[in-house]
Chains A and B, each alone.
Chain A
Amino acid sequence: MAVDSKTVQKVALLAKLKVDDDKVEATKDEFNKILKWIEQLDEVETQGVEPLVSVNEEHLVCREDKVTDGNIKDEILANAPESEFGYFAVPKVVE
């Protein structure tokens, strides 16, 4: 499945990345090279094989419902590029 330039742009948009117009072609070619390489997998017969989601064979263990965290507002905001009045600030979001 080879991708075209439009797809490259769409994928970039989904990933919130920008591919400059003059780099789209090169990116597309490189992308296709990698895709072609990983498509070797098509050779493998996988009918009836259960996908391996996790090598972890122990089941999920839950925690008890206790409040053990929070009340660390300063630490939460310590690395914020911009914060005001105890909130994180971002450009206006209009819905």
Chain B
Amino acid sequence: MTDLTDLTIAEALSAMKSKKISAEELTKAYIKKTEEGRKYNAYVLETPEVALQAAKVADENYAKGTERALEGIPMGIKDLFCTKGIRTTACSHIIDNFVPQYESTVTQNLLNAGVGFLGKLNMDEFAMGGSNETSYFGPVINPWSKDVDLVPGGSSGGSAAAVAAKMCAAATGTDTGGSIRQPAAFCGITGIKPTYGRCSRYGIMAFASSLDQAGPMAKDVKDCALLLNVMAGHDEKDSTSSRKDVPDFTKVLGQDVKGLKIGIPQEYRPQGLNKEIEQAWDKAIAMLKERGAEIVDISLPHTKYALPVYYIIAPAEASSNLARYDGVRFGERVDGAHLDDLYINTRTQGFGKEVKRRIMVGTYVLSAGYYDAYYVKAQKVRRLIQNDFKNAFEKCDVILTPTSPTEAFPIGDKTMVENPINMYLNDVFTVSVNLAGLPALSLPIGLSAKGLPLGMQLIGKAFDEETVFKTAYALEQDAAFKRI
């Protein structure tokens, strides 16, 4: 028998249902891979006993014929999702001892569907970063690395690496400015950031509340659709979660894309765009054209301002969201003579450099006298960015762009370390989607000359994940990307 960890979720479900394999076998195979892959540093906490317990229940359910939607699927969980009784740290020193007494809605939905948790996955501290290098638990190594250790992307770097290295059947991610899509592209896997409001944010440690969305990261498009079916849905505990019905996203897979209008934004093809990325993009356009889709040139004129807007709004919200980490009710405490000293000592020693940088920027842009110049201005440009997409979707059904302007880069890359803005520029193709609240998926389209995965991004209208999935599935067939 082939390696069980090669199976997609869809394949594994069918194999378990037909009793060809058991959930326990499948889970053990992933636990083994997890142990073998420790060099990648993808997991910050392994919970094999939890996964095995779930597998036991799953096998009973299969035996009784009462299996649930994702019965017996072992997953890794980004360490930003609070998991009841399982340490959750956001990969920050400030709460590296925190054991939530509650379960996030998304992980609860997965548990209710029969998923088992293999452990908690590494990430950039509080999801702030694009390379997983800001984690208190150290960087994650991209499983595609050859002679030099490469980053897996970020912030969901542990999730992407774990899926790529088959250390879990799939993983949860969160995406505030590209944190699902960019690591998915760097690690040659598929990930979707759903429309803002599709998945509940309850129990996910907040980075930037108006941008954060949870989503699945998996081996292929179909697995993402299966997972999103379970993860999405209205939650009365999150006032920003949508009441819209969640369709069965797998239904559209395999449907014809003929006549579908694919928007190609000219602004995503700036002077000096990486040639290999550009070629991969052209290849993807050609594939869809070949299938009878109509290619439409569109314009998203405010694209270049998306990053500055993002780097005002996200730090502003983060500066407030991270105020609760003060050493009083949970987490690490560094004592002080007075309450103020306790706050300052705890936060100064508890947060890492990038997090503190963003808290400072966010505090500044909200402070008296600057609020209008920065925050209100950013919100206005955010409106223009959203309008750009509204206008573009008058002309097309889905937008195709590269996911990232680069392939995976080495850990400790000097240009990024020296200038945080260079790191921020990695999000250039992904952030505007968060600002507009739209769904977007990244899937691998091929390899660069260095043999590294390149990702394509499909952006849909709000709450039209179906068109995104349908188009992605078609591209996936044609690209025939070979996973590790």
Contact = CB atoms under 8 A, between A and B. Distances in A.
A32 to B, nearest CB: 11
B356 A17 contact: yes
B345 to A, nearest CB: 8
B335 interface: yes
A17 B359 contact: yes
B365 to A, nearest CB: 8
B383 A51 contact: yes
Given A30-B420, A88-B328, 20 more contacts: A12-B360, A17-B356, A27-B360, A34-B311, A34-B357, A34-B420, A37-B308, A38-B308, A41-B305, A49-B380, A51-B380, A51-B382, A52-B383, A54-B210, A56-B242, A76-B101, A81-B327, A88-B329, A92-B338, A93-B339
B359 to A, nearest CB: 5
A58 B342 contact: no
A60 interface: yes
Chain B interface bracket (under 10, 10 to 19, 20 to 34, 35 or more): 35 or more
A67 interface: no
Contacts, number: 158
Interface of B: 97-99, 101-102, 196-197, 210, 236, 239-240, 242-243, 302, 304-305, 308-309, 311-312, 319, 323, 326-333, 335-345, 347-348, 351, 356-357, 359-361, 363-364, 367, 370, 373-374, 376-384, 386, 419-421, 435-437, 462
A30 to B, nearest CB: 7
Contacts of A16: 323, 326, 340, 343-344, 347
Q: Which of B99, B210, B308, B337 has the most CB of A within 10 A?
A: B308
A90 B376 CA distance: 37
Nearest to A48: B380
Contacts of A58: 197, 242-243
Contact of A91 (B242, B312, B339, B361): B339
A53 B435 CA distance: 11
A30 B332 contact: no
Contacts of B364: 3, 7, 11, 31, 35
A56 to B, nearest CB: 5
Given A1-B373, A17-B351, A79 B339 contact: no
A72 B102 CA distance: 11
A47 to B, nearest CB: 9
Given A49-B384, A50-B380, A63-B236, A15 B319 contact: yes
Interface string A53-66: 11110101101000
